[in-house]
Structure 1
Amino acid sequence: VAREIIHAGLTDEEFIRNATTGYEEFVEFVEPWTLEHTEEVTGVPAEAIRELAHGYATAATAQICWTLGITEHHTGVDNVQSLCNLALLTGHVGRWGSGLVPLRGQNNVQGGGDMGALPNKLTGFQDVEDDEVRARFEAAWGCEIPPANGWNLTQMFEAMERDELRAIYCIGENPADSEANVKHARAMLERLDVLVVQDVFMTRTAQMADVVLPAALGWAESDGTATNSERRVQRMRAAVSPPGQARQEIGIINDLAALMGDDRWGNPTAEELWEELRTVSPMHGGMSWERLEAEGGLQWPCPTEDHPGSPFLHGRLWERPVGGRLAPFSCVEDSPPLDLLTEEFPLRLTTVRALDSYNTGVQTSRYASPIRTGEALEISVADAADLGVVAGERVRVSSRRGAIEMTIGIDRELAVGLCHTTFHFPELADVNQITSDAVDPKSGTAEFKAAAIRIERLDGNDRLDVDHRVGAGA
């Protein structure tokens, strides 16, 4: 796409000249990727690529939106950088109506990152290894912060295998169902000396725990904030009280700290914690609790109380001269999925989400839905004919990591050789036993979207009396 934009003369030369670096190297790098070569590699028709390139480049405004289909690969970061290249070529960034939009899978994924739930960042995406930043947090918190980056989730499981990580405090996560190559993940969790799980339901991970701390449901039973995909921080308000022994997570963590010897926390409220946050995170500095309440939410960065918030990012790239550093083009090599297709494993499996279900099904499997689908393995019409299987038939699905039984569905829109299923129903189809645990070394994300599998008929099996409509999982 980038090469076609360049060869068609559709680049924004003024923007490239003033706001970017590395353009000449990038032009040389993409030169081999003709429309014909790209069609041969990807299977996407050359004319479709050309149409996309011209439509995107000539649009008055254009956005590129993506989800986990881009990032859950061993090249996830490279994939995102490739999309950024297109925006830099055309100037579709840093102005109203144009931009790069990573759509989050849950309502507060953005907020989790903002708050510092990343191994290399403190609140407000500030680097853990920056001495000046760390000193500011240490002064506010009255403690010493380790100067080295922590482990991401993949690195944690690697550390468990080396017996370097012996205890886990797991809050609102179900890795015993959600991890790729989940049999290995479960084995690592079993190795721990101590596993503490804090959650709203008794997940499979909680069932493995030494201690379970029942928590309030964030979106219905707690006060606080959530931050959505457009960086808008909004107030969350408790509608009901948590049931039974479930407690507010702030209170649980506060009491745990006291039991471990630090009783200085003082039982802070959500508002008090937010006001403290503003003192250490410049991008939240102008978002007082009162403003969030009165204005219905604000978009960061919002550094001062008279700042209106930022409806879009990177407007600085249109300043002359550019405010801050220039935006770099990235030369990223094509790298196919690491779980290779072979005669033994000839089909490509990718995981998807169904409309009415959520992650591993913990929160959605407890109610009925008239549109619930997704437990089937959806395959193409041609592959169904080649395998001699029909919708509703039980089959064995194998990868290099294991095998499970699944029910066949047929999706008329699927390309030959491609299969998909959800991960919402691990009790019916434990799909993550067969997903690929190849990892992006830059992000630590597993390659959920590209496993190599084999489908085999079962001896003497009958069709199930269930509704697996053609295209139901699409």
Structure 2
Amino acid sequence: MTNTIGDLEEADVILVTGSNTTENHPVISTYIKRAVKFKGARLIVVDPRRVKIATFAQHWLRQNLGTDVAWINGMMHIIIKENLHDKAFVENRTQGFEDLKAMVEKFTPEYVESITGIPAASLIDAARLYAGAGNAAIVYCMGITQHVSGTDNVKSLANLAMLTGNLGNRGGGVNPLRGQNNVQGACDMGGLPNVFSGYQPVTSDEIAQKMEQAWGVTGLSRKVGLKVTEMIPKAHSGELKALYIIGENPLVSDADLDHVAKSVGNLDFLVVQDIFMTETAALADVVLPSACFAEKEGTFSNTERRVQRVRKAVEPPGEARDDWWITAQIARRMGYDMACESAEEIMAEIARVTPSYGGITYDRIDYEGLHWPCPTTDHPGTPILHKEQFPIGRGKFHAIDFIPPAEATDDEYPLYLTTGRVLYHYHTGTMTRKSEGLNERVPENFVEISAKDARDLGITDGGAIEISSRRGRITATAKVSTTAVSGTVFIPFHFAESAANQLTNAALDPVSGIPEYKVCAVKLSAAAQ
């Protein structure tokens, strides 16, 4: 997030898109709801489902799946045409405006309606509301990123914020809500194939040499590694022989699960490190039990870039160990003495080699966390990014054209499927589905479908449905719901025995490598009894 969670209550207008906030980020949703109910903020929700947060919105725009670039370009077309953009911000702090203006020229409200299904008048009203705000915040989640155009979607939202001068201000910004705990921290620490910690490129000789000196080694590779969505196909072809998976369950979470299962089955050696015996761990040659958050010391970096202490509350069971301890022991057995004795010692090393974390110590975050970048021990942290300038100087507008989703409906597969989460379960259910109370609330998988589609297909609420795509087939229970809209069904992906990702498309965003989980074509029928 460029801004803080608390900043949402300072916004005059909040634009939420690709986020079922009340179910996926219930704590953050309370800030949005308070801002609307008690502080006069106005809310715009753009989502293909009538999610609960939309009940608080002044405008709910229902776009066709995978058409986000089109409606964002349409809003910018209106803002520029009606002279509502922040001319001073654009002139003084950005570059590439003329290219953007030329690109969005064709995205008239009527043209956007033909692509997205959003009525032209509704788009105009929403654009005027967003552009007319003193401070306007954008909030998005995986409904924006999990597309073949996911990177384009994010850049387009950044375009919209810059066009209206909503970066570097309280109550503004572009604010992604991270999908899992400490995803931000994992990325910060170099959990990406192209960077060291703090997003320092592995291809830089200067950075690599700094790391070599810090670690007492030579010859660190300058080669960019593989994304996870590149590893699986290479396992399938036999090019990748071994895989070490930590805290992930791809046999439920990855797209096109039949292909994933075959790929993992081709490996010569699989290691899984996790707190429970997951579906993926069950296939492993070696399982390393690790401690959960309440059983170890350390830090988490949350979605607003706040680095916070985690303190051990109970002893880990059995042979479970801290993840860092397991990593250090493996390194020692492989010939490198990774000499670290505590999480605090590791944090001190992080500060030494990571400029954005340079001023973060256990003492400083003992009571309250700090927002990075925090380069020195006398720096107060940075709750709001880009106040004075962007890291590259002037912010760059990207002129982006609309591209359709990778898969379209047809006579055989006439409905679109989108996937996500429900309030009572989390990710692949590794933890939440072991809770009796949560299983009572949502005991089994379901297909959320509109009343019209249910009538047309002869499907009854609570009945068993067979759902098929070009990749697989599952059975789940019908849930006729006012949240659903005609033409689109929704399935949560928590349930391994009826895995939504048997159906989803593994087509990838060319930059991020993220699969298009949010759009695929399916057909439904009543299941044989």
Q: TM-score range by the shorter chain?
A: over 0.9
Counterpart residue identity of residue 515, structure 2: A
Q: 2:386 aligns with which of 285, 309, 314?
A: 314
Q: 1:431 aligns with which of 485, 500, 503?
A: 500
- State the shift of 1:258 in Å: 1.6
Answer yes or no: is the 8 Å Cα contact 1:379–1:418 preserved in 2. yes
Tell me the residue number matched to 2:342. 269
Q: 1:157 aligns with which of 229, 232, 252?
A: 232
- Residues 31-69 of structure 1, C-alpha deviations (whole Å, 9 max, x = no match): 111111111111111122112111111111111010000
Answer yes or no: is the 8 Å Cα contact 2:459–2:525 preserved in 1. no
Answer yes or no: is the 8 Å Cα contact 1:5–1:11 preserved in 2. yes
SS in 1 for 2:212: helix
For the pair 1:358 / 2:399, whether they are aligned, the reply is no
SS in 2 for 1:315: coil
Q: 2:512 aligns with which of 434, 443, 449?
A: 443
- Residues 73-116 of structure 1, C-alpha deviations (whole Å, 9 max, x = no match): 00000000110110011000112221000001122110000000
SS in 2 for 1:291: coil
Q: 1:406 aligns with which of 469, 476, 482?
A: 476
SS in 2 for 1:365: helix
Q: Distance in 2 between matches of 1:184 and 1:324?
A: 41
- Residues 161-202 of structure 1, C-alpha deviations (whole Å, 9 max, x = no match): 232210111110101111100111011111101001110000
Q: Distance in 2 between matches of 1:421 and 1:31?
A: 37
Tell me the residue number matched to 2:403. 335
Q: 1:303 aligns with which of 375, 383, 386?
A: 375
- Residues 354-406 of structure 1, C-alpha deviations (whole Å, 9 max, x = no match): 01111010110011225336721011111001101101111211101011112
Q: Distance in 2 between matches of 1:237 and 1:436?
A: 40
- State the shift of 1:152 in Å: 0.4
Q: Distance in 2 between matches of 1:377 and 1:191?
A: 32
For the pair 1:229 / 2:313, whether they are aligned, the reply is no
- Residues 302-353 of structure 1, C-alpha deviations (whole Å, 9 max, x = no match): 0111110001111123xxxx77421111111211111111111110000011
For the pair 1:417 / 2:487, whether they are aligned, the reply is yes
Counterpart residue identity of residue 209, structure 2: A
For the pair 1:256 / 2:324, whether they are aligned, the reply is no
Answer yes or no: is the 8 Å Cα contact 2:166–2:172 preserved in 1. yes
Answer yes or no: is the 8 Å Cα contact 1:170–1:198 preserved in 2. yes
Q: Distance in 2 between matches of 1:90 and 1:441?
A: 28
Answer yes or no: is the 8 Å Cα contact 2:161–2:167 preserved in 1. yes
Answer yes or no: is the 8 Å Cα contact 1:354–1:373 preserved in 2. no
Answer yes or no: is the 8 Å Cα contact 1:233–1:300 preserved in 2. yes
- State the shift of 1:266 in Å: 2.6
Q: Distance in 2 between matches of 1:25 and 1:260?
A: 53
For the pair 1:213 / 2:288, whether they are aligned, the reply is yes
TM-score, length of structure 2 as denominator length: 0.84
TM-score, length of structure 1 as denominator length: 0.93
Answer yes or no: is the 8 Å Cα contact 1:349–1:449 preserved in 2. yes
Tell me the residue number matched to 2:273. 198
Q: 2:243 aligns with which of 168, 185, 192?
A: 168
Q: Distance in 1 between matches of 2:401 and 2:510?
A: 14
In structure 1, the gaps of 5 or more residues are: 462-474
- State the shift of 1:247 in Å: 1.2
Q: Distance in 1 between matches of 2:185 and 2:316?
A: 22
Answer yes or no: is the 8 Å Cα contact 2:415–2:522 preserved in 1. yes
Counterpart residue identity of residue 395, structure 2: A
Counterpart residue identity of residue 279, structure 2: R
Q: Distance in 1 between matches of 2:234 and 2:203?
A: 21
Answer yes or no: is the 8 Å Cα contact 1:374–1:424 preserved in 2. no
Q: Distance in 2 between matches of 1:177 and 1:458?
A: 23
Q: Distance in 1 between matches of 2:325 and 2:496?
A: 32
- State the shift of 1:213 in Å: 0.5
Q: Distance in 2 between matches of 1:291 and 1:350?
A: 43
Answer yes or no: is the 8 Å Cα contact 2:359–2:376 preserved in 1. yes
Runs of 4+ in 1 over 6 A off after TM superposition: none
SS in 1 for 2:441: coil
- Superposed, 1:170-189 pairs within 5 Å as 170-189=245-264
Answer yes or no: is the 8 Å Cα contact 1:233–1:298 preserved in 2. yes
Q: Which moved more, 1:332-341 or 1:377-386?
A: 332-341
Q: Which moved more, 1:371-380 or 1:197-206?
A: 371-380
SS in 2 for 1:54: helix
Answer yes or no: is the 8 Å Cα contact 2:448–2:490 preserved in 1. yes
Answer yes or no: is the 8 Å Cα contact 1:380–1:415 preserved in 2. yes
RMSD over aligned Cα atoms: 1.3
In structure 2, the gaps of 5 or more residues are: 1-74
- Residues 212-253 of structure 1, C-alpha deviations (whole Å, 9 max, x = no match): 011100x21110000011100000001001001111112211
- Residues 241-270 of structure 1, C-alpha deviations (whole Å, 9 max, x = no match): 1001111112211111122222x2234210
Tell me the residue number matched to 2:88. 14
Answer yes or no: is the 8 Å Cα contact 1:345–1:453 preserved in 2. yes
Tell me the residue number matched to 2:152. 78
